[in-house]
Amino acid sequence: MIAKRFEDLLFWQKSRDLTRHIYTSTSKAAFRTDFGLREQIQRAAVSVMSNIAEGFGRGSNSEFVQFLFVAKGSLSEVKSKLYVAMDLNYINNTEFTKAYELADEISKIINAFIKNLKDDKKRGLKVC
């Protein structure tokens, strides 16, 4: 399938869900007062969505792959900061698990998509 818009990409849709979950979790009283961690995890989550969109908009598979790797890095950052939030009792285990598993799922989908983009490049196809 060739996506016509970045919004059509499942991993962008899921990254939007992750961002919504992060913003909901960081709106709790205890988390709200930790400005540094709150802003960092929010920015990392938004970065995932943004890099997928920007990479898609570049119009070339090789540039898209670069932006997808940046998105994967931001996912790892979100996952790491989730541990801090849980360790400080800003989020509970259920919230942690939901966000962590969603971030992990997005990362796996991106990995598969990168592989497809690289395979398409070898065949001379353009996805975006």
Nearest to 11 by CA among 117, 92, 120: 117
**Domain count within the chain:** 1
More confident residue, 60 or 72: 72
Give the Cβ contact number of residue 122 at 10 Å.
Answer: 8
Residue 66 located in a structural domain: yes
- The average confidence (pLDDT) of the chain is 92
Q: Is 88 inside a domain boundary?
A: yes
Statement: residue 112 has pLDDT above 80: yes
Asked if pLDDT for residue 128 goes beyond 80, the answer is: no
Q: What is the pLDDT of residues 13-23, one digit of tens each?
A: 999 999 999 99
Domain that holds residue 118: 6-122
| pLDDT over 80 (residue 123) | no
The answer to the question of residue 40 being in a domain is yes
Question: Does the residue 127 lie in any domain?
Answer: no
Q: What is the pLDDT of residue 110?
A: 97
Residue spans of beta strands (DSSP E) within 1-128:
none
Residue 1 lies in a domain: no
In angstroms, the CA 8 to CA 122 distance is: 24
CA neighbor of 64 nearest in space, from 52, 48, 76? 52
Distance CA 127, CA 13 (A): 18
- Global pTM reads 0.90
From CA 67, how far away is CA 62, in angstroms rounded? Answer: 9
CATH of the domain at 100: 1.20.1440.60
Residue 128 lies in a domain: no
Quick one: tokens of 33? 């007062």
- pLDDT value at position 126? 54
